[in-house]
Structures are given as structure tokens and as C-alpha cells.
Amino acid sequence: MNVTRVDIPNSIHKFKQFYTTLEGAYLKHLIAPKDRMAPEDIIVIHNNKKVKAGIWKDNQKKGDTNPYFEEHYPTPEHNEEIQDEIFLLYDDCGLNYAHFFFDFFGKCIYFDEIRKTNPKVKLGILEEFYQETGNSTFIKQWLDLYYQDQDIKIVILKKEVQYKVKTLIIPNSFYWFPEGYGDDYIVEKIIETVAKVPKIEVTTKGCYISRQDTLKRGWYHGRDLINELELIEQIQNKLGYDIVELMDYDIIGKIQIFKSYPIIVQQSSASNINILFSNKDNTHVIISNPRMTDWLNFKINQFSEKSKSNLITLEGGGEYLSDYIEPNTNQGNYPWQLTNIEGIIEVLKQINNNEI
């Protein structure tokens, strides 16, 4: 076992920026529970102990260099053997769009550093996190775009296969969303990647990012705006904006939307990350969910500054609907409603007419 520190210029989290190298580790991609409330996608065994390094989030946040839990495990029987050096790209929150870009993709910084001196190292990724179809295709699409024209060898770790890996490299967390600071290097990489994608021609001045796609596809949270359809109808009738459901687009299409529309209206949500896809020609209008205003608006202000796009946040126009919360539901996932849609439309008209 070896712990290697990585020195990233101007980083404020140097104490937790390292990766752990294990020789002769056993790895299994588990079938995760449906509620996904615990990191049960993977188990790694080394020296007859369960590995927590780079897998268990609380230890990553602390910068804990102890790689193991205390309990003893027997040596697993393996189905397949990998005679290569594998860099494990994994985060238990990686299927979440916002956490993907920061908690998951952020670890590619370690992989890129390692490849400067060891170009033969391969990128290992769990099958569930590298899909051609389904709700999480953005992961593969983004990695393909980021590593475009680079000779990257990817090893897909299949579900319920017990692997023995000659050399397994497990990165610690580089940054975890939504920490206030420490993500500058990741943001730079996102903006560099987005620069590869050209704008498209649009026929309206603005668009509204609908969240109806998450309801149609049974997305896992209940943080829905219950009178969103009324808002959509007003935006269409009074502003003539396009209504966009992002889950209908691949990552290239998402980037083009956020680069191309002069005005982009959306709720507080993970898709606010896409402000980083924009530039000085785009104006973002965020209708703030009261649950997310304090912390998310701080982050989207940072994203606006980094991308040089314009940002207007509309606060105070919504309320929780706590009576809708079902027993045993995550209490952070309140449904909510807008209390003054007409007022929001009037503000949007002023923005549309360059009066704000």
C-alpha cells in the first residue's frame, strides 16, 4: 500500500489531495440498492480488509489516509484477473448530475497527473456509471468529450464480477460539492472542455428549462415544483420562449443550449451547473427554490463569474409544501410552489426587453 500526494497549483485542499495504490486488490461492482442512500456500488478487499480509501465519502472529506476498515475479510474467490494498473474513477454520488462534475469528474485531475509519467495506466469505471442508454448517459458522454483525441484505455467493471487487480489506484476526493471554495481547477477543466463545442442557431430569444422530464422518467427525488405547468404555459404564451427538457439531449446538445440562447430561465436544480457552459452572451434567470437559495445561489454566482455569463436570481417567490412530505422521505426534498407566477412573468418581460 502506498499513499501519493498530488500538488495542484493554488489548491486550498492539499491535505486531502492524494491517491492510494494497492497491489493485488479484489474488487466487485455490486448491484446498488434502489434508494442509493449508501455507497454500496462497490467493495474492495486488500490484505484481507475492506478498503475505505477513495470510496467512503466521510473519510475522503477528512483526508484520512488510513485505507482500511478494521474488520477481517477472507480472500475472495475471483472470476477475472486484470494484469494492469487500473485507476478507479468512482464516487458514490456520481450518478447525480451536479455531484458528477465535481465529486466524480474532479478525480480525473489525479488520473491526468498520473498519466504524465505513466501513460499506460487504464481508467476503470463501474458498468453502472458508463452507460449508452438510461438517465446517466451524460457520464460517458462527458468523459468521451473530455478525453477526445487522447489515447485513453477504459476498463468497464461489470456488475457482480469479482476481479483481482494487479495494481489498483484509488483517488481521494479532490473536492466535494457544494463546498464554498476549492473547485477552481475543476471549473477550469469544465470550461476548457465546453470550448470544444460550437454554438447553434436558435430562433427565439430565450428558453425555459423544464423539470417535467424528471417526473416523466421517475427521477429519484421529490423536489418538484407542483405548479410548473402553469409557469410553462405563461412563459410560452407571454414570452414565446422555447421549452427545453434537458434529458432529451446528450451532453453536446446541453452545452449548445446553454451557449446559444440569449436568455435561459430555470429553477434551482442540478442543471444550474450548466451555467458553466455559457459565456458573456448569455443571461441566466434562476427562479429560486426556498430550500436551496442560501447555498446554491452562492455557488451559481461563482459559476456565473467563471463563465463570464450574466445572472439574475429571483428569490422569495416560492414556498415549501411540507404537508406533502411522505414518511421516511429525505426531508431536504420538499415539493414547492410559486406564489406569484404573474409577478415572475412581469420580471421576465422586463429582462426580455432589456429593462433590467
C-alpha span between 215 and 287 (Å, rounded)? 19
| Mean predicted confidence (pLDDT) in 191-209 | 98
pLDDT(156) > 70: yes
User: And the C-alpha cell for 265?
Assistant: 430561465
Residue ranges of alpha helices (H) inside 9-120 are 57-62, 97-99, 108-115
User: And the C-alpha cell for 52?
Assistant: 475505505
Bridge partners of 310, per DSSP, are 283
pLDDT at residue 331, as a whole number: 58
Mean pLDDT rounded to a whole number for the chain: 93
Q: For residue 24, what are the contacts with CB-CB under 8 A and spacing of at least 6?
A: 46, 164, 165, 166
C-alpha span between 92 and 177 (Å, rounded)? 13
Counted residue by residue, the chain has a size of 356
| Mean predicted confidence (pLDDT) in 273-285 | 98
User: And the C-alpha cell for 117?
Assistant: 509519467
Tell me: the pLDDT tens digits for 29-59? 998 766 554 557 999 999 999 999 999 999 9
Tell me: the pLDDT tens digits for 280-318? 999 999 999 998 888 999 999 999 999 999 999 999 999
pLDDT(20) > 70: yes
Question: pTM of this prediction?
Answer: 0.93
61, 16 in Cβ contact below 8 A?
yes
pLDDT(152) > 60: yes
Q: Is 128 helix (H, G, I), strand (E, B) or coil?
A: helix
282, 264 in Cβ contact below 8 A?
yes
pLDDT classification of 147: cutoffs 50, 70, 90: very high
Bridge partners of 169, per DSSP, are 21, 87
pLDDT classification of 321: cutoffs 50, 70, 90: confident
In a 13 Å sphere around the CA of 46, the CA atoms on its Cβ side amount to: 23
pLDDT at residue 22, as a whole number: 98
Q: Which of 198, 87, 185, 196 is nearest to 144 (CA)?
A: 196
pLDDT(93) > 80: yes
What is the residue whose three cell numbers read 489498483? 168
233, 240 in Cβ contact below 8 A?
no
79, 140 in Cβ contact below 8 A?
no
| Mean predicted confidence (pLDDT) in 237-250 | 97
Query: In degrees rounded to 5, what are phi and psi of residue 263?
Result: -125, 130
40, 32 in Cβ contact below 8 A?
yes
Distances 186 to 107, 176, 189, 342 between C-alpha atoms, Å: 9, 11, 5, 39
pLDDT classification of 270: cutoffs 50, 70, 90: very high
C-alpha span between 129 and 190 (Å, rounded)? 19
pLDDT(12) > 90: no
C-alpha span between 353 and 200 (Å, rounded)? 22
The domain limits of the chain are 2-194, 206-352
**Architecture of 206-352 per CATH?**
3-Layer(aba) Sandwich (3.40)
In a 13 Å sphere around the CA of 249, the CA atoms on its Cβ side amount to: 15
